[in-house]
Structure 1
Amino acid sequence: MRFSDRGAAAVEFGLVALVLFTLVFGILQFGFWFWSWQAAGHAAREAARVGAVDPCGTASIQAAGAQALDGVPTGTGATVTATKAAGATVGDEITVNVTFESIDLGFFPFFEASIDKSATSRIENVPAGCAP
């Protein structure tokens, strides 16, 4: 009795394809997440720099953080929040927190796509008329 090799390549591809596609989509998912993670840190630092020279300009702090996230794959809208002590003066610290959901390709049910980064700067200037 003679056995045929017909279909052997399809079976082998079926076995290898599962591992190959899992690896490719895992690399893509990690790449999106890492890009978002790095960009969130950059946005928090940029917003903290703006807050260091104008701690009362909440809108400008949030705008700086949002502008730094332009083009970044955020799954949900990003929130940029600044925290400073009441009555802050030169030398105090301002902390900016950036939070959003990274893109989730949906291939890995255990994947946590939330990004939360913060940056702290020393307040260098308190403009006249500013009551932090």
Structure 2
Amino acid sequence: MTELRDAVAKLRKHVKHATDGPWVTSSVWSPRATSTSAVYSHAHPAGSVESEVVASGKIRSGYGGIREPWNAEYIALMQPAVGAALAEWLHLVADVVEARIAQDGSDEYAVDIEGDHALVVARLINGGAK
């Protein structure tokens, strides 16, 4: 139980300090291609410093670099292994829901026992609203 609560606390801390989303990626964005990729927040006006979540590449004349260190921390926290674990969890929940539908013939109660949290996560990953 301690491990779960520690992970929740760590994740919530990083979520609290990272730039709000949704985040989107963009390829070469700087005037002289000094950065090869960037992540922007749609929660802030386009082109504003606040909208620049993370930019990778060579820093030149103020272009590129990390705008908010917490964003890099959050991105590092969401490493591919976390994504793989989330995918496995969503796969398992989908199997359970599919089995419930097959058994009952209805999707009325065929939600995950966590109160639809898996559906919320899936919709956010798919670009939909909670």
Q: Which has the higher helix share?
A: 2
Structure with the bigger RCO (C-alpha within 8 Å, sep 6+) is 1
> What is the TM-score normalised by the length of structure 2?
0.31
> What is the TM-score normalised by the length of structure 1?
0.31
